[in-house]
Chain A
Amino acid sequence: MRVKLTVWRQAGPDATGGFKDYELADVSPDMSFLEMLDTLNELLIAGGEEPVVFDHDCREGICGSCGMVIDGVPHGPQRGTATCQLHMRKYTDGAHITIEPFRAAAFPINKDLSVDRAAFDRIVEAGGYITAPTGAAPDANLIPVPKAVAETAMDAAQCIGCGACVAACPNGAAQLFTSAKLAHLNLLPQGQAERWDRTIDMVETMERYFGSCTNYRECEAACPKEISVDFIALMNKDYVRAQLKQRRLAGQVFP
């Protein structure tokens, strides 16, 4: 296959970036999208041009490192698929593909296609955990979890933290990411003690870094794990309830 690429090049966080065109003559349909970029980089190095910087690691769709906007869509055209799992067989011979970094005020560009997603860590640090210091745990089967609850918590917990939801959102909002972590922990019995504090702390930290949600639902469409916007509704509900709770009595009034 032949492909024409238009790729965002930017030398550093403060440098001015711009698009640059490249052509690849010999792309195999079995290549992954990142292997196609590897091939581009090998050619660039041979020609004396610095290779395109992009984040990647596991190449199995689970680490959340990779992510770029491909023809206007974070992670590209295939639903429920991270960039590393997208394969060139999804393109036709002669395709023209535009590649840019995730664009969001909260994700400054490091270089080329690599962005800084540290703001996600700030949200988790604010409360995205269950306080259970090592050694204090009771026997695991003392905490029965209804299967349906465990499954829904797992649906939320499988978020890979890639940031596609933010990049897809016209407001640069992080509601899907934050609500997925909140739903994972707030649904489980183990997460009840900190439920209301966690919700307020994470939502308010999120608001410091990211835009606001106005229900475009682009996030869900872009999510490589197809995480549902239902979790945003749950987060909003918990946030309102958390504001009303007398937290010292929270244990009495659940759910």
Chain B
Amino acid sequence: MTLDARVPSGSIAEKWTNHKFSVKLVNPANKRKFRIVVVGTGLAGASAAATLAELGYGVTVVSFHDTPRRAHSIAAQGGINAAKNYPNDGDSVYRLFYDTVKGGDFRSREANVHRLAEVSVDIIDQCTAQGVPFAREYGGMLDNRSFGGAQVSRTFYARGQTGQQLLLGAYQALARQIGLGNVELHNRIEMLELVVKDGRAAGIVCRDLITGEVFSLSAHAVVLATGGYGNVFYLSTNAKLSNVTAAWRAHKQGAFFANPCYTQIHPTCIPASDEFQSKLTLMSESLRNDGRIWIPQQADDARPPSQIPESDRDYYLERRYPAFGNLVPRDIASRAAKREVDAGRGVGPLKNGVYLDFADAIERLGKHVVEERYGNLFQIYERIADDDPYVAPMRIYPAVHYAMGGLWVDYNLMSNLPGLYVLGEANFSDHGANRLGASALMQGLADGYFVLPYTIGDYLAPMLGQALVDTDDPAFRSAESAVAESTKRLLSIKGRRTVDDIHRELGKVLWDNCGMARSEATLTKALAEIPAIRDEFWKNVRVLGDDASLNQSLEKAGRVADFLEFAELLCLDARHRNESCGGHFREEYQSDDGEATRDDEHFSYVAAWEFAGVGREPALHKEELVFEEVHLATRSYK
């Protein structure tokens, strides 16, 4: 099967404009005849649900949280990019497009990225109108800051809580539609199956997390905005409940999973402290604007950082990448830190970090300016590390953060299954092999506010008059019994190991063998170990309680069961991609000075995998990537 991305013709700057004119429209009076289910209420899901409801569609929203405002978009700190060029420093839509394609190491779809850059400016206008309290200059105009991978200041922010404020904006727009009766909201409901009928997405099967009831929702289109899969590594910066379940179960129903090996390791996180660690905490990349990263020249330098003189310090990013310095893209900053720590030059009690130092910034700007910019981040750090970053440098180390891979979608954000749309982090499309900082918020909101509301009409318009598939239909009934069956099975194992215990084991295998650096040997090792852990899980997991009340172990067990299958696909994809690009670094493919070496001749494609059964080799479908605008080149940030 050839994958048709349905990229419109025309010059790059005209594609989206032309496409908006050529997609079919649903007349305003007919929109209410369609029912759309949106799963997930992060930036992408909430903005899509609110906008679709404003347009007049019948919208049902499903969230496993107790309120839509809890989604993990809320934890994004640093900011959101937009090509506004307010600072007059030479930014443009084309430059944002160019930076994003280059930052993604030439593994993203050009047309999608250009559209993202185009609508970025509308997002800022929209969010400002909603009352998002972006940072301001004294004259009342919006302030910008710079971010990794760019040489212009195009990042809008609300202190270190930009994700929170953008999500609350989208949540409030959604709440308005709920209050008006245009959106039906289901909280504490988890999607556990996608229902496909006659080759089209027809609805979902859910479980009520409070009562355990399994029920179905029928729809003309299903929208997944269910986030990324970073928690497959157990330790990541993702929220504890973030998971791959919705995407994975759609994959098992036929949706292709694209580029799962593109995982982003974020350079500035608080290093792990002990084996009880339940998650890792990110410190916004914006800190690299004013903080300087260094390590002592000598390994095992026992002096406190303040007593190490300049001459004994190695500001390794400034040394190796003078043009971008501390603002190199995330993948490069992460690998550089790993290199130093692996060489035994790490700092801290476990020698597992590098310093991020604000002494110069405090001297240059004054403590109050640093506090205004980063106050809440410094507070988070102080709470966790028990150390005051105004006095001593922070210790940071890379951690799993974001998934560039996800379900394959075409230009309309529709998966290969007609009627199934995938938005935000859950899809694969815009960031290539590496996402630039402050671009996740941009993509989630672009998809939800400005892309899907246009493109979904193209699918729905010809379906006018078609009734919803009855939830008594055998397609729904059999999916419901499969869900109930697997719940019962988890409860019946009554083994000896907890879900977390097995999840931690899986995470360690992945981090050691498929983390910041991978090789054919480590991946082959992981692929041998994962099925054994999966067998162990299904033989020996212990899930107590019943399925008729709130049972968090049961929820977790279902999600870990999916991670155990997904992990194999992640490693297979990483092993098949015989090149290094962006977040995917294969040790065999690097230059003499340790930079990633791409193989454009053989791997300039999207790897979209088709499910063939648990433990069976999936089928590979390729979407060739064509670069008409940005010429393939080795990234250089020197």
* A residues neighboring B (CB under 8 Å): 11-12, 28, 30-32, 34-35, 38-39, 42, 45-46, 48-51, 53, 55-65, 80-81, 85-87, 89, 110-111, 114, 116-118, 120-121, 124-141, 143-147, 150, 153-154, 157-158, 160-161, 184-185, 188, 190-191
Contact = CB atoms under 8 A, between A and B. Distances in A.
Interface in B180-196: 187
Interface in B540-587: 542, 544-545, 549-550, 552-553
A146 B136 contact: yes
B133 A184 contact: yes
B111 to A, nearest CB: 22
Given A53-B550, A114-B550, A125-B176, A58 B276 contact: no
A150 B51 CA distance: 26
A94 to B, nearest CB: 19
Contact of A42 (B380, B449, B500): B500
Nearest to A12: B549
A141 B141 contact: yes
B67 A118 contact: yes
A241 to B, nearest CB: 20
28 contacts: A28-B276, A31-B274, A35-B278, A38-B278, A51-B552, A53-B552, A57-B240, A58-B75, A58-B240, A59-B281, A60-B282, A63-B70, A63-B75, A81-B383, A85-B383, A117-B66, A121-B67, A121-B178, A127-B179, A129-B172, A130-B130, A134-B47, A134-B50, A140-B142, A141-B86, A144-B136, A145-B133, A157-B158
B54 A143 contact: no
B135 interface: yes
Contacts of B386: 30, 87, 89
Nearest to B52: A134
B295 interface: no
B70 A60 contact: no
A30 B133 contact: no
A56 B138 CA distance: 38
B164 interface: yes
Given A130-B172, A138-B125, A50 B545 contact: yes
B387 to A, nearest CB: 12
B139 interface: yes
B164 A158 contact: yes
Contacts of A131: 176
Contacts of B239: 57-59, 63
| 5 nearest A-B pairs in the assembled complex, by CB-CB distance | A144-B140, A125-B179, A129-B172, A137-B129, A140-B128
A85 B139 contact: no
Contacts of B140: 144-147, 150
B594 interface: no
Contact of B84 (A46, A140, A154): A140
A38 B133 contact: no
Contacts of B70: 57, 63-65
Given A128-B175, A191-B131, A137 B125 contact: yes
Contacts of B281: 59-60
A131 B173 CA distance: 7
A130 B175 CA distance: 11
Interface in B133-176: 133-142, 158-159, 161, 164-165, 168, 171-173, 175-176
Contacts of A86: 383
B131 A190 contact: yes
B69 interface: yes
A147 B138 contact: yes
A46 B498 contact: yes
A89 B137 CA distance: 40
A125 B54 contact: no
Contact of B550 (A59, A111, A153): A111
A134 B54 contact: yes
Given A45-B498, A161-B67, A188 B131 contact: yes
A228 B241 CA distance: 31
B95 interface: no
B622 to A, nearest CB: 35
A129 B130 contact: yes
B187 A137 contact: no
B279 interface: yes
B323 interface: no
A157 B140 CA distance: 18
A56 B240 contact: yes
Contact of A57 (B165, B241, B450): B241
A154 B135 CA distance: 9
A144 B140 CA distance: 4
A83 to B, nearest CB: 12
A45 B278 contact: no
A158 B167 CA distance: 11
B137 A147 contact: yes
B74 A63 contact: yes
A134 B134 contact: no
A60 B380 contact: yes
Given A117-B67, A134-B54, A45 B125 contact: no
B72 interface: yes
A77 B133 CA distance: 30
Nearest to A115: B66
A129 B183 CA distance: 16
Given A65-B70, A125-B178, A137 B126 contact: yes
A234 to B, nearest CB: 16
Interface in B380-437: 380, 383-384, 386
A134 B383 contact: no
A80 to B, nearest CB: 8
Contacts of A46: 498, 542
Nearest to B501: A42
A114 B133 CA distance: 31
A180 B175 CA distance: 17
B161 A158 contact: yes
Interface in B476-508: 498, 500-501
Contact of B549 (A11, A48, A63, A125): A11
Contacts of A190: 128-131
B125 A140 contact: yes
Contacts of A126: 179
A63 B171 CA distance: 13
A84 to B, nearest CB: 9
Contacts of A57: 65, 70, 72, 239-241
Given A60-B75, A126-B179, A137-B122, A144 B141 contact: yes
B528 interface: no
A144 B136 CA distance: 8
Contacts of A145: 133, 136, 140
Given A63-B75, A118-B66, A132 B129 contact: yes
Given A57-B70, A116-B66, A134-B50, A124 B129 contact: no
B178 A62 contact: no
Contacts of A161: 67, 69
B54 A58 contact: no
Contacts of B122: 135, 137
A114 B549 CA distance: 12
A157 B131 CA distance: 10
Interface string B268-309: 000001101111011000000000000000000000000000
B116 interface: no
Nearest to B549: A12
A28 B274 contact: yes
A11 B551 CA distance: 10
B467 interface: no
A34 B135 CA distance: 33
B401 to A, nearest CB: 13
Contacts of A65: 65-66, 70
B449 to A, nearest CB: 5
B13 interface: no
Contacts of A134: 47, 50-51, 54, 126, 173, 449-450, 453
Contacts of A158: 159, 161, 164
